[in-house]
Structure 1
Amino acid sequence: MSNPYKEIFAAPGAKGFSAAGFFARLPIAMAPIGIVAMLSQAHGEYWLAGAVSATYALTNALISPQISRAVDRVGQTAVVVPTTVVSVVAFIALIAATNQNWPVWTLFVSAFLAAAMPSIPALMRARWTELFRNRPELNTAFAFESAADELVYIAGASLSVGLAVALFPEAGMMVSTAFLALGTAAFIVQRGTEPKVRHVANAVSVGSAIRQRPVQIITLALIFVGSIFATAEVSAVAITKELGQPNAASLVIGVYAVGSFAVGLILGALNPRMALHRQLLIAVVAIALTSLPLLVAGSSVTLLAIAVFVSGIAISPTFITAFGLIERRVPESMLTEGVTWVMTGIGIGMALGAFVSGWVVDNYGSQNGFWASAAAGTIAVAIVALGQKSLAGDCDDGQACAALQPAG
């Protein structure tokens, strides 16, 4: 039996832009929790750390789809270069403001401007689509991207927290900013795989991708899935610190990725025949159920690590099915924007999760932070369950619906 992942990386340029894109998107995970780790250590207040992180993530959530819409219209290089420069400079200012104890307002302004960072995962999927449009290999490529996204979210967060705790508060953000600058530069210079700009006659009448009901449902659901990430990260940092083992936070957050990454790669290779909207419902149900053990796992680092490992297993399958649905329902000329809206949902969730869990930890203790995860998982299940009809293909926007069965 051939290896489907070996086949997609045999395409010219695939290895190069994939490797560069992996490092370029690490800041998506490193920056939000890196801001929390940096400011909570430098200022000693979780609410301030969560508020600045939320400012960055929420602003990025609002700006990123507009950046991606511009990318769909004029191309990746023309948009990504200037927005990345702005983001890198702003991150440097945020680090300096923290280190030099500048006024609090400078933290929020820097975080606001840093949000100009483009959505690398969306750019990656657009390049894979350019290589394998209307071919079965695209399913495998999207599965790989979803598994890689999940690994980036967890491994990136673990690296960011680990550097901040082991070295100095700003270490995680310094490395994150370096990845953004160097990784994006390496990605964008590979012009051979940059997607062509596709102009569609009815683009104006179609409008934004967020007007499509499936995009709305998936984006809203992933807001709450994203909040589970941030809640787990903030709570893990607080609990390990309370247990007298702050260095263990990096390990606890890191095990989040192990099971989920493996399950995601297996799912992409097997390509299950169940309809994608049903796969998504099963995945979010699993997320909700596996978040429950976290409520009683704060008595030791070992127990916490085990519970976090179990709670992460369904994350990658959720990503795979969510982006698979988006790829089948969004017009080709709007793919980057459609993917970005879903990434936006995750970013908003991480911002809200960081803020809410930080507030809960400050006011009710580190052991209660995971209640935000349990609540978010329940809400995500309700959203996907109520949206099954629309996700199955019952369009209300006048567009022809693509089949939602996995291709192959």
Structure 2
Amino acid sequence: MPLLSPSPTPVPPAPPKTVGWLTVLRLPHCGRSLFGTLVGRLPLGMAPVALLMAVEAEDGSLAYGAALAAAFGLAVAAGQPLLGRFVDRAGQTVPLVVGAVISALALASIAVVGTGEPHLAMTAALLAGLAAPPLEAALRSLWVRLVPTPSHLRAAYALDSGSQELVYVAGPLLATCIATWAGPTLALAATAALGLTGALTVAAGAPSRAWRPRPDRRGGLLGALQPPTLRLLLLALAAVGASLGALHVAALATADRYDTSWLAGAMPAALSVGALIGSAVYTLRPWHACLGTQLVLTGAGFTLTWLPLCLDPPPPIGLALVLLPGLFFGPLLTAAYLAIDAVARPGMVTESYSWLVSAFGVGTAAGTALAGPWGGSWIVPAVTAAIALGLLHLVRHRLTHRTQILPL
């Protein structure tokens, strides 16, 4: 009678492999796609500053300059979902190229004609914002096709969320330097040229040209907003954006109180640096918590780290403390990207990500407006962050079982 061989000991599944940012950037097309997206999105940080300085150079009022900058920002928030839906229906090439050309021509027209005619300048600013190509959303719909594994995708999203902070640090700084040294006209022209160059870099790449809409795409009046979980997540992210908008006013008020003008720009930059560091740390090792828990925990950290700032610490301490919300903001944004992937309707991923951009834009504007009457109090970003945390708890409960067991 033959001896029965012992049954093999089951081998436990290997833990998810840690993938770093350099690994992602070495993959074909990843570095070019990310670089083109960042360059193409620089106008989002440059245009408001360039418009303000252009009005100032022509002896216009601060209120007029702020209105032009606000019109551009709100138009971007309105145009992104529309162009994102266009991408999901027609592919990436036409929306990215046509949008970039129209937006660049609108900004260039302000550079040539000036801001002396308010109606013309306002129309051009609105058109430039509405036509701004949805590069951020387009890249996130490409990542899943550019990387081979969920671990790579997690690292790519963390790299994405961390590096996008450079847009809002480098953009205003670049616009200010060009306007100071060469005049606001050249700053507007450079803004237009960079936006067009970045968009064409992405659109000319093989992954973007090969990207096709899904044939099972289902339409409807609400479009990508149909899933209730997505709507809740967008509301939470709008509240997060409100905290960031209130930060700019609080930083300016703090700079005035302590007579340190540099603090108005340094504090938002410090939060961006914190977000970059937080995203890098998030990538270092897999986090085994379910996706809903990741959203809540990073949201809790983002909320709690605003509280020490409510004590109005002096500039050196305050500047260091602003880093802390950023450390949680980067991972929170990365977890939000993964959640959108999980709950987006078939064939509507680009539009879903475009709504995220809009939610942040509207939330940032609302936070800025809300912080003004409160005199730039640090309580405002803390309260809006707490609202975001409450909404993230609801998102966690609504996430499906399939979402919660995603390999992260």
User: What TM-score, normalized to structure 1?
Assistant: 0.83
3-state DSSP of counterpart to 1:254: helix
**Contact 1:25 / 1:180 at 8 angstroms: preserved in 2?**
yes
For 2:359 and 2:52, locate their aligned partners in 1 and report how far apart those are by CA, in whole Å: 19
User: Which residue does the alignment assign to 1:407?
Assistant: 407
User: Which residue does the alignment assign to 2:281?
Assistant: 266
For 1:207 and 1:167, locate their aligned partners in 2 and report how far apart those are by CA, in whole Å: 46
User: Which residue does the alignment assign to 1:376?
Assistant: 384
3-state DSSP of counterpart to 1:257: helix
For 2:18 and 2:386, locate their aligned partners in 1 and report how far apart those are by CA, in whole Å: 39
- 1:197 and 2:205 are equivalent in the alignment: no
Matches within 5 A, 1:104-119: 104-115=118-129, 116-119=131-134
Of 313, 331, 340 in structure 2, the residue corresponding to residue 326 of structure 1 is 340
User: Which residue does the alignment assign to 1:179?
Assistant: 194
**Cα displacement (A) at 1:320:** 0.5
Structure 1 counterpart of 2:362, one-letter code: I
For 1:103 and 1:242, locate their aligned partners in 2 and report how far apart those are by CA, in whole Å: 37
User: Which residue does the alignment assign to 1:396?
Assistant: none
**Greater Cα radius of gyration, structure 1 or 2:** 2
3-state DSSP of counterpart to 2:219: helix
Structure 2 counterpart of 1:403, one-letter code: T
Alignment CA distance shift 1:305-1:135 (3 Å): closer
User: What TM-score, normalized to structure 2?
Assistant: 0.83
**Cα displacement (A) at 1:216:** 0.6
Structure 1 counterpart of 2:126, one-letter code: F
- 1:53 and 2:53 are equivalent in the alignment: no
Identical columns (%): 22
**Cα displacement (A) at 1:19:** 1.6
**Number of positions where the alignment pairs a residue of Structure 1 with one of Structure 2:** 390
For 1:209 and 1:59, locate their aligned partners in 2 and report how far apart those are by CA, in whole Å: 19
Alignment CA distance shift 1:147-1:119 (3 Å): same
User: Cα deviation per residue 1:353-402 (whole Å; 9 max; x = unaligned)?
Assistant: 33344x43xxx65xx35443233212212222233321x21xxxxxxx73
User: Which residue does the alignment assign to 2:291?
Assistant: 276
In the alignment, structure 2 segments of 5+ residues that lack a partner are 1-16
3-state DSSP of counterpart to 2:405: coil
Of the structure 1 ranges 100-109 and 157-166, higher mean CA displacement relative to structure 2 is found in: 157-166
**Contact 1:5 / 1:141 at 8 angstroms: preserved in 2?**
yes
User: Cα deviation per residue 1:295-350 (whole Å; 9 max; x = unaligned)?
Assistant: 443754x3442232233221101110111100122245211111111111111112
**Cα displacement (A) at 1:249:** 3.6
**Contact 1:30 / 1:159 at 8 angstroms: preserved in 2?**
yes
For 1:52 and 1:186, locate their aligned partners in 2 and report how far apart those are by CA, in whole Å: 28
User: Which residue does the alignment assign to 2:162?
Assistant: 147
Of 209, 214, 224 in structure 1, the residue corresponding to residue 224 of structure 2 is 209
For 1:295 and 1:170, locate their aligned partners in 2 and report how far apart those are by CA, in whole Å: 40
Structure 1 counterpart of 2:203, one-letter code: I
3-state DSSP of counterpart to 2:245: helix
For 1:284 and 1:188, locate their aligned partners in 2 and report how far apart those are by CA, in whole Å: 34
3-state DSSP of counterpart to 2:402: coil
For 2:73 and 2:213, locate their aligned partners in 1 and report how far apart those are by CA, in whole Å: 29
User: Which residue does the alignment assign to 1:10?
Assistant: 26
3-state DSSP of counterpart to 1:402: helix
For 1:161 and 1:303, locate their aligned partners in 2 and report how far apart those are by CA, in whole Å: 27
3-state DSSP of counterpart to 1:198: coil
In the alignment, structure 1 segments of 5+ residues that lack a partner are 394-400
Of the structure 1 ranges 32-41 and 337-346, higher mean CA displacement relative to structure 2 is found in: 32-41
User: Cα deviation per residue 1:51-90 (whole Å; 9 max; x = unaligned)?
Assistant: 4333222222222111011112211111111111111222
